[in-house]
Amino acid sequence: MPAVQAPQMRVGVIGLGGAARQMLPSFQTHPHVVIAAGADPREDARDAFSTEFSAPAFAHPEDLCSCSDVDVVYIATPHQLHREHAVLAARAGKHIIVEKPMALTLEDCDAMIEAAEHAKVLLVVGHTHAFDAPIIEMRRLICEGAIGPLALINNFNYTNFLYRPRRYEELRTESGGGAIYNQAPHQVDIVRLLGGGKVESVRSASWALDPDRPTDGAYSAFLQFEGGAVAVIVYSGYDFFDSDQFHDWVGELGESKPSGLNGSARRALSALPAGADESALKAQRGLGGKPSPSHDDPASRAHPHFGVTIVTGRDGDLRQTARGLEHYGREGIREIAIPGPKVFPDKSGLVDEMYDAFAGQQPLLRDGHWARATMEVCLAIRQSALEGREIQLSRQVGI
């Protein structure tokens, strides 16, 4: 009897910037994924991609989508283009991975879901840190009752987000910039995964504290879940306090991080000569650029994470740690080690989930409806902050 051959999943990448560069190693590491094509308007990015992956790179996403040897399109273009490119891919019959945020409006999310369903293709949004192995394990433990019924999910993250190099549009909320569009999807995806998915209402506040970077850089929100659990999320990207101090000085991607760098991202930007092009610095993070040296050390590689996550249930607490989880129960503390990432940065949770659905092994845990519900929460965070009142939600789905 012949062994069943695991199918190959051939991925085309639209948008060869910083997000793609961070995602590509996790595609490469999967034994049944092939990086089949790329697309980007910038010639240097295309050249770098073709050289590195021995695959064609196109100037136009249409050409990538018409490749017969592409099964899945990974869309890592600027947020405003997500809808257009997702619809393009769906019409070409390609499965779709879209970077977060899914889109800037629920109408765009609707159109993307409709296109995918009409074409009968898979649609998943990520990477978000809800695909990190410790979060997935935390959910598994919650589902099997390890801490009893959930009460309170606490996630806070203090970072230098606002002082990473940006394009002009990324510094304006109305064009998809700022912490709510770009960081809240991580937090909301995490707390929804842990809390069961269905957020009933949102009360929030947000702040734009730096007139030179006039977009929201901090927010906090109180999320009421169906069933009585609540998530409290706090975020500041102003490069002051750094909450990785409470996570063994492990950075967002799992890298060891020197202490005491607080404020250095802001100072590095301030030190740019007058007239220097910040967006060119941003482009250096993509294919064809010169990214900063990786701080990865395979020997000490920890799990990626998004701030501090502590979950309280009737029978115990769970906390994400650099090496896995800690479980605090009636009998005391139990360390739950999770084997370290095989790749840096580790976004393999997303690749695995898409591959397993592609190969027919199990349905997508998180599809377009899931991702739209996360965007509904993010948009409600923005709206509640603007209007100073609690916002009721209507597009939520469970898991």
Q: Say whether residue 227 binds a second copy (CB under 8 A).
A: no
Q: Say whether residue 158 binds a second copy (CB under 8 A).
A: yes
Euclidean distance between CA atoms 2 and 127, whole angstroms: 36
Identity of the residue, 74 or 225, whose beta carbon is nearer to a second copy in the bound complex: 225
CB of 384 to a second copy, least distance (A): 10
Residue count at the site for a second copy (CB under 8 A)? 50
Q: Say whether residue 236 binds a second copy (CB under 8 A).
A: yes
Q: Which stretch binds a second copy (CB under 8 A): 48-56, 198-206, 249-257, 275-283?
A: 198-206
**CB-CB contact of 220 with 235 (8 Å):** yes
CB of 260 to a second copy, least distance (A): 6
Cα–Cα–Cα angle for 351, 379, 243, rounded to 5 degrees: 65
Q: Say whether residue 234 binds a second copy (CB under 8 A).
A: yes
Q: Say whether residue 218 binds a second copy (CB under 8 A).
A: yes
The residue from 32, 81, 110, 240 that contacts a second copy (CB under 8 A) is: 240
Euclidean distance between CA atoms 240 and 282, whole angstroms: 21
Identity of the residue, 205 or 281, whose beta carbon is nearer to a second copy in the bound complex: 205
Q: Say whether residue 224 binds a second copy (CB under 8 A).
A: yes
Q: Say whether residue 263 binds a second copy (CB under 8 A).
A: yes
CB of 146 to a second copy, least distance (A): 12
CB of 246 to a second copy, least distance (A): 5
CB of 265 to a second copy, least distance (A): 11
CB of 214 to a second copy, least distance (A): 13
Tokens of residue 37, six digits: 């094509």
The residue from 34, 209, 268, 364 that contacts a second copy (CB under 8 A) is: 209
CB of 153 to a second copy, least distance (A): 9
CB of 380 to a second copy, least distance (A): 13
Q: Which stretch binds a second copy (CB under 8 A): 40-48, 52-60, 146-154, 180-188?
A: 146-154
User: Which residues inside 291-330 make contact with a second copy, applying CB under 8 A?
Assistant: 310, 312-314, 316-317, 319, 326, 328-330
Q: Which stretch binds a second copy (CB under 8 A): 82-90, 94-102, 130-138, 257-265?
A: 257-265
Euclidean distance between CA atoms 131 and 246, whole angstroms: 21
The residue from 58, 131, 156, 306 that contacts a second copy (CB under 8 A) is: 156
CB of 92 to a second copy, least distance (A): 45
CB of 159 to a second copy, least distance (A): 12
Q: How far is CA 161 from CA 62, 178, 243, 289, 332, in A?
A: 33, 9, 12, 20, 36
Identity of the residue, 59 or 386, whose beta carbon is nearer to a second copy in the bound complex: 386
User: Which residue is listed with tokens 């159109």?
Assistant: 111
Q: Say whether residue 389 binds a second copy (CB under 8 A).
A: yes
What are the residues binding a second copy (CB under 8 A)? 148, 151-152, 154, 156, 158, 203-205, 207, 209-210, 218, 220-222, 224, 228, 230, 232, 234, 236, 238, 240-242, 246, 260, 262-264, 266-267, 310, 312-314, 316-317, 319, 326, 328-333, 388-390
